[in-house]
Structures are given as C-alpha cells and as structure tokens.
Chains A and B, each alone.
Chain A
Amino acid sequence: DAMVIQNPRYQVTQFGKPVTLSCSQTLNHNVMYWYQQKSSQAPKLLFHYYDKDFNNEADTPDNFQSRRPNTSFCFLDIRSPGLGDAAMYLCATSRGGGGLRAEAFFGQGTRLTVV
C-alpha cells in the first residue's frame, strides 16, 4: 500500500494561474518535505515541516508556499507559476532526526507543466 501519496500525478496549469499540489502520508511521520526536481538535476529541497514548524530554504522563491493542516497532509501552493517552475515535485516524509531517522520516504511525484 502506498504510504506517501501525491495528487495529481500530472498537473497542467496556465502561466500565472495559482496551483496547489497535495501530499498525504499514512506513516505518521513528523517531517514532511517538498522537493523540486528538474531534468538531470538533483532534487532540491524547497521547505519542510517538522510537526507544525515550518522551515523554508533560503533560496526558495516567495512564489512557493506550503501548508500542513494536520500530520497527514501537506500542500504546495505556487501562487503565480512561471515557465521555469515546470518540474517534478516530490513530497517526502521522515521520522526526523539523525541516522536512520533521516531516511525519507517519497511519493510518486507530481509532474507540473506550465503552459
């Protein structure tokens, strides 16, 4: 059974039109992450939640925001998508902490296309 579920798998949005990607988990993990991955590049961490504490990476554009209403769900909001935001967006969870607790479990990703 899938433990980290991302919806939708594929999302097409218009330039400048707000879009929301969703992620849910059944692992009851403390930490939820959003990564952006562009072709042939490393997954890049955008932000993460440790429980309700939000942690934004310094170079994450203001255009990207996130919400975590409860332990199970986390959302990625892109306020005004540009062509450069087309990418695979990966949600992941972990128990949080060092060692094996850092192991992240990934969803299948959402492929975002901006037209």
Chain B
Amino acid sequence: DQQVKQNSPSLSVQEGRISILNCDYTNSMFDYFLWYKKYPAEGPTFLISISSIKDKNEDGRFTVFLNKSAKHLSLHIVPSQPGDSAVYFCAVSNYGGSQGNLIFGKGTKLSVKP
C-alpha cells in the first residue's frame, strides 16, 4: 500500500494564478517532508522542504504547509509561471533510525498556461 499519495495526477492553472499541489501520507512517524520538481528527461531537483516541528515554510513563490493531524501537506506556488510546468513529487524522509531514505509519491503533472 502506498505510504505517500498524490491523488491528482495532473493540474492545469492559468499563469499568474495559484497552484496548489496536495500530498497525503500514512505514517505519523515521518519527520521530514520534501517537494521535488522534475522536467522531462531530467532527474528530480529539490524544491522545498519542511520539518515536522513546523507547519509552514516559505521560499519565494513556493510555500509548503504541513498539517500533521491530517497527515497532509501541500505546495502552493504563487504566482504560477509557465516555467513551473513540470511533474512535482512529494517525498517523505523515512528516517526512524535509518539513513534518511526518501519515499516518493507518484507525482502531479502541473501545466501552467500563458
């Protein structure tokens, strides 16, 4: 069973509007959460992260929100730009005494239309 779920395979938004990408996880022991961005034919690149001791982290146009009670996190992109069009992966750190292996969701393909 999937431990990290991104239930929307795709999302389309207009340039300048807000993009909201969602992610749910199953294990309350996960303690670090990351978002990766992936363009076609390239490896994923780190975008933003949040520790379980916080509920919000902001970096420029990107903000990640964490709701631990709901086991839910979201990535907000404001304003969205055509260059943001990519696949976004949510990942959680399965630290728990191991080496910080990441468990990924299936990704959400974001299309930002001019």
Taking Cβ atoms with an 8 Å cutoff, the residues of A that contact B are 4, 6, 9, 30-31, 33, 35, 40-45, 48, 50, 55, 90, 92, 94, 96-109, 111
Most buried by B among A98, A101, A105, A106: A98
Taking Cβ atoms with an 8 Å cutoff, the residues of B that contact A are 2, 4, 9, 31-32, 34, 36, 41-46, 49, 51, 89, 91, 93, 95, 98-107
Q: A98-B93, A102-B93, A106-B43 are in contact. Are A45 and B100 (CB under 8 A)?
A: no
Choose among A44, A50, A107 the residue that contacts B43 (Cβ–Cβ < 8 A).
Answer: A107
B44 adjacent to A43 (CB under 8 Å): yes
A42 adjacent to B44 (CB under 8 Å): no
Min distance, Cβ B107 to any Cβ of chain A, angstroms: 7
B32 adjacent to A108 (CB under 8 Å): no
| Cα of A101 to Cα of B104 in the assembled complex, Å | 17
Contacts of B51 in A (CB 8 A): 99
B42 adjacent to A108 (CB under 8 Å): yes
Most buried by B among A42, A94, A108: A42
CB-nearest residue of chain A to B53 = A99
Known interface pairs A48-B99, A94-B99, A104-B91; 16 further A-B residue pairs with C-beta atoms within 8 A, sorted by A's residue number: A6-B43, A40-B9, A41-B106, A43-B104, A45-B101, A90-B43, A92-B43, A92-B102, A96-B99, A97-B100, A100-B32, A100-B49, A106-B36, A106-B43, A106-B44, A108-B42
